[in-house]
């Protein structure tokens, strides 16, 4: 099997992915780059990474590099993605894909011209929660999906400067992506309202007045979904939430991010009609580690992995990064390249999820006016 030379750019949150690439059987080598040379040196020593780069341009010029994974500040995503693709390398990028519709168009064009793979590394679509809900859907347990909701509650006031005042729906992908995937249909229109007020200093960078944005999305197949995103000055425990309401069953993410989901199942009345009782139960989710190569299964449980008792530690305990999603994302990106196919969250799906959030903010700035979400690529 061909093996790939990969470079990880950005060692803050991105550092969590390096051990996964290092252990993946499809990776020949993993290189790293961070603008903070001290962090890069320390990380290299701690993880035994030999290949370091000292500029982004150096990566682009290295013909040995097959793929680049970008975990860099949001304002850089589109420009760096285009540069990677134009350099003839496959590109994975953390969310969001871009911050404007024009930037999305630039990425679509770069993918088309380069023939290389693009993958938006949306964690929620590889969480245990999503796998569990998708399994329910495949078994027909929801019946007809009638409505969808998404949420992402987080206060980011102490994060790096580029976050300050960011429009909430620009980074709404964690709330939007599960709805888009469960609906199986393109988001076509959005109405969104901003709410609350922010301190003046938070307004200056992006001219965004809202700490909270809530949107109703219309899907091409007729479904509707609602999503709420908080970014500043809102006291609420962190949660990336997914809520699916079906005719036969519903799935609701727990109140806090790490809680088990609540599953409601309809019970028909004695005469066979609807309107009987419901069964409501908190259900523990399995770890879907068996979907992965054995070498990276341990990364689904992070620090809870016990190499002396691997199967037991993989079955229980808290999940690794973003509910065990990180190794699934890496595996999908790498195998899509080796199998010469589009990644599951390719430029078309990533564009619809990201554009829906961009258009939601445009709507909020127009007091809820309907905004059409443009189509990108082949839906």
CATH number at residue 237: 3.30.360.10
* Domain co-membership, 80 together with 131: no
* Domain co-membership, 323 together with 214: no
Domain membership flag for residue 258: yes
pLDDT of amino acid 200: 94
**Quick check: 163 pLDDT over 70?**
yes
* Domain co-membership, 118 together with 138: no
pLDDT of amino acid 258: 84
* Domain co-membership, 181 together with 84: no
Q: What is the pairing mode between strands 224-230 and 249-252?
A: unpaired
pLDDT of amino acid 158: 85
Domain membership flag for residue 70: yes
Per the structure, the count of domains in the chain is 2
**Quick check: 172 pLDDT over 70?**
yes
Domain membership flag for residue 75: yes
Burial category of 45 from C-beta neighbours within 10 Å (exposed 0-12, middle 13-18, buried 19 and up): exposed
* Domain co-membership, 43 together with 150: no
Q: What is the pairing mode between strands 278-282 and 262-266?
A: antiparallel
Q: How far apart are CA 198 and CA 215, in angstroms?
A: 19
Nearest to 242 by CA among 221, 262, 216, 219: 262
The model's pLDDT over 70-102, given as tens digits with 9 standing for 90+, comes to 999 999 999 999 999 999 999 999 999 999 999
| pLDDT interval class at 317 (50, 70, 90) | low
The model's pLDDT over 180-219, given as tens digits with 9 standing for 90+, comes to 999 999 999 999 999 999 999 999 999 999 999 999 999 9
Range of the domain at 258: 125-306+355-372
* Domain co-membership, 183 together with 219: yes
CATH number at residue 107: 3.40.50.720
Q: How far apart are CA 144 and CA 8, in angstroms?
A: 41
**Quick check: 303 pLDDT over 90?**
no
* Residues 6+ away with beta carbon under 8 Å from 148: 178, 179, 182, 183, 223, 224, 225, 226, 243, 244, 245
Q: How far is CA 302 from CA 17, 318, 345, in A?
A: 11, 8, 24
pLDDT of amino acid 377: 85
Mean residue pLDDT of the chain comes to 94
* Domain co-membership, 12 together with 106: yes
* Domain co-membership, 151 together with 264: yes
Measured distance between the N- and C-terminal CA atoms of the chain, rounded to whole angstroms: 31
Domain membership flag for residue 38: yes
**Quick check: 313 pLDDT over 90?**
no
Domain membership flag for residue 8: yes
The model's pLDDT over 233-251, given as tens digits with 9 standing for 90+, comes to 999 999 999 999 999 999 9
**Quick check: 307 pLDDT over 90?**
no
Q: Report the DSSP beta bridge partners of residue 192.
A: 215
User: What's the average model confidence in pLDDT over 10-35?
Assistant: 95
User: What's the average model confidence in pLDDT over 273-285?
Assistant: 86
Token pair recorded at residue 122: 């949306």
| pLDDT interval class at 379 (50, 70, 90) | low
The model's pLDDT over 104-162, given as tens digits with 9 standing for 90+, comes to 999 999 999 999 999 999 999 999 999 999 999 999 999 999 999 999 999 988 899 99
Domain membership flag for residue 132: yes
Token pair recorded at residue 41: 């040196």
Q: How far apart are CA 119 and CA 347, in angstroms?
A: 6
Asked whether the bond before 256 is cis by omega within 30 degrees of 0, the reply is no
Q: How far apart are CA 105 and CA 128, in angstroms?
A: 32
């Amino acid at each position: 099997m061909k093996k790939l030379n990969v470079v990880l750019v950005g060692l803050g949150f991105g550092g969590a992915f390096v051990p996964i690439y290092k252990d993946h059987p499809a990776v020949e080598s993993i290189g790293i780059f961070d603008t903070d040379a001290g962090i890069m040196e320390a990380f290299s020593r701690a993880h035994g990474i030999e290949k370091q780069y000292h500029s982004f341009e150096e990566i682009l010029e290295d013909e040995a590099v097959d793929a680049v994974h970008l975990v860099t500040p949001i304002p850089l995503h589109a420009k760096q993605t285009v540069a990677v693709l134009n350099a003839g390398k496959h590109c994975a990028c953390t969310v969001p894909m871009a911050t404007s519709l024009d930037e999305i168009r630039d990425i679509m064009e770069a993918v088309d011209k380069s023939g290389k793979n693009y993958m938006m590394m949306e964690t929620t679509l590889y969480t245990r929660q999503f796998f569990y809900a998708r399994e329910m859907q495949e078994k027909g347990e929801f019946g007809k999906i009638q409505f969808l909701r998404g949420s992402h509650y987080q206060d980011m006031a102490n994060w790096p400067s580029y976050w300050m005042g960011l429009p909430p729906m620009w980074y709404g992908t964690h709330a939007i992506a599960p709805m888009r995937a469960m609906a199986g249909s393109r988001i076509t229109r959005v109405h969104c309202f901003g709410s609350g007020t922010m301190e003046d200093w938070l307004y200056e960078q992006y001219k965004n007045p809202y700490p909270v944005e809530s949107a109703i999305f219309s899907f091409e197949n007729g479904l509707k979904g609602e999503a709420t995103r908080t970014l500043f000055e809102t006291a609420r425990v962190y949660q990336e939430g997914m809520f699916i309401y079906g005719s036969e069953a519903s799935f609701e993410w727990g109140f806090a991010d790490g809680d088990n989901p609540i599953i409601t199942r309809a019970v028909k009345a004695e005469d066979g009609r609807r309107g009987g009782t419901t069964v409501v139960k908190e259900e523990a989710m399995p770890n879907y580690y068996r979907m992965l190569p054995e070498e990276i299964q341990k990364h689904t449980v992070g620090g809870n992995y016990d190499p002396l008792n691997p199967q037991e530690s993989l079955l229980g305990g808290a999940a690794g990064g973003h509910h065990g999603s990180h190794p699934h994302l890496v595996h999908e990106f790498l195998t899509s390249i080796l199998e010469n196919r589009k990644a599951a969250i390719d430029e078309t799906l990533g564009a619809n999820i990201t554009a829906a959030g961009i258009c939601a903010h445009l709507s909020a700035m127009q007091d809820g006016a309907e905004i059409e979400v443009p189509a990108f690529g082949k839906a």
